[in-house]
Chains A and B, each alone.
Chain A
Amino acid sequence: MQKTAGLIKKRVLELLADGTVTKVLGWKEGDFIYDVTPASFLSAQEADGLVYSSFCGANLSKYLISECKALTEGKILALLKPCDTYSFNQLLTEHRIDRDKVYVIGVGCKGMLDIEKIKAMGIKGITKVIDNGKELDIKTIYGSKTCKREDALLEKCLCCKSKNFKAFDEIIDPEPETKEEKADRFAKVSELEAMTAEERYAFWQEQLSKCIRCNACRNVCPACSCMKCVFDNPVSGVSSKANTDSFEEKMFHIIRAFHVAGRCTDCGECSRVCPQNIPLHLLNRKFIKDINELYGEYQAGEEVGSRAPLADFTFDDAEPSVVNERGNS
């Protein structure tokens, strides 16, 4: 990881120096080593703060929408992990970013860590994490602790889409495709589907009642990038900014999932950033699972220009009654 970070930094400085790029989109460390946030760097001096660690889960592609607009000269360098390149392609498909303005460095990724999971193991006061690929050696102010790497991975990394880059100008330190069986990303969705309607209702009632309408899910989602969201728009007929009515969160989350259905790359950012830990990705994955089952496998962002399933049809698509036929109550 440190080696990769070093290579990245070296290359970033080169590209800044030779004028290929005028701005760099990457990550920087916050108050704690695990507190890594997206950041932009305009100069070699600033780029000193650029980090690439096991906590760089954040997907930077969405920032390119505004960065592309603001860019006046040169190119913007974006560091994208393999899974981020799907979002990048999806944004290209939707003409939200300008490929010519972006210089993509694909950065190899072994899977990113979820600090919440580590904390949940009772590990506190973390000062350093040494990642040897299988195990984490965690230095804390209370001493050293270890844990298995896979126990601390982000949900999205447990069922990593691919180690291959779907878009890039150059690649640094790529990882080979993992041989091991990946987790079934639809396992939880299937589990819910197998429940009775009452159980499902109870599950979602509990989850969605936690929502505080902070809009973090919306703001981080690379597919949720409307100039103006319908929920902020008084003439849309559904505008609602706060949780005034019991139904509104539900409407918000259903509509949000529906609006990104067929466009969601399953990057998992919504659930990662949710301060209330609502498993929002389960809504998106339900749509993805249905789309795959009913209309054929589709991965948003796999290729630029592909036709989203909801903007497509076949003459013999399933009838809506299929929901009744295959469900259980």
Chain B
Amino acid sequence: MQVSENTENKEFKPLIVAFCCNWCSYAGADLAGTSRLSYPAEVKIIRVPCSCRVNPMFILKAFEKGADGVIMCGCHPGDCHYSTGNYYARRRMTLLFSMLDYLGIDRARTRVEWVSAAEGQKFSLVMNDFAKTVTELGENIKLGDLRCKKQQD
């Protein structure tokens, strides 16, 4: 194995919170487990009934408490167990992420993926990729400190 070029980040293990809807994505994560498709242990899953249960406040709270990346997974549009939940979630997350981007916060720290109960492979690939992206971004400083007293003198 080659030595990682990025020695600075070598030790850095990001903290990633994944919100997964009960019916598709949580089941997709279960399938990844059953199929022994690994992804980094930094990813911690929180089960919600539907992607439309994910309140932007949860995501900001996670960042406030030190998360380096937050990903939300739900059923593919059109497949929502509650028929329309993920459509609302899609709008909410699009606007929220756009706002975070507008504030200059790394938009790569947030992501939405649609993962079905049959897509264990996709779940694993997505988590690997997201963890890689967040690792490369390094520690989440901006979200932790948008306010900077020293500029206010």
Residues of A within 8 A of B (CB): 189, 192-193, 197-206, 208-211, 230, 236-238, 243, 245-251, 254-255, 257-258, 261, 283, 286-287, 290-291, 294-295, 309-315, 317-324, 327, 329
Contact = CB atoms under 8 A, between A and B. Distances in A.
Given A237-B57, A255-B56, A204 B90 contact: no
Nearest to A261: B95
A240 B34 CA distance: 43
Interface stretch (B20-28, B39-47, B99-107, B119-127): B99-107
Contacts, number: 142
Nearest to B90: A317
Interface stretch (B2-10, B11-19, B139-147): B139-147
B107 A247 contact: no
B61 A291 contact: no
14 contacts: A200-B102, A204-B104, A209-B152, A248-B64, A249-B146, A250-B103, A250-B147, A251-B60, A254-B96, A290-B94, A310-B95, A313-B88, A323-B97, A327-B107
Given A197-B101, A200-B104, A327-B107, A319 B90 contact: yes
Tell me the dominant secondary structure on chain B's binding face: helix
Contacts of A261: 95
A48 B57 CA distance: 48
B69 to A, nearest CB: 14
B1 interface: no
A189 B98 CA distance: 12
A251 B99 CA distance: 12
Given A210-B152, A313-B84, A291 B95 contact: yes
Given A206-B151, A210-B152, A320 B102 contact: no
A193 B78 CA distance: 32
A208 B146 contact: yes
B88 A201 contact: no
Nearest to A327: B101
A257 B102 CA distance: 13
Given A200-B102, A257-B99, A313-B84, A205 B146 contact: yes
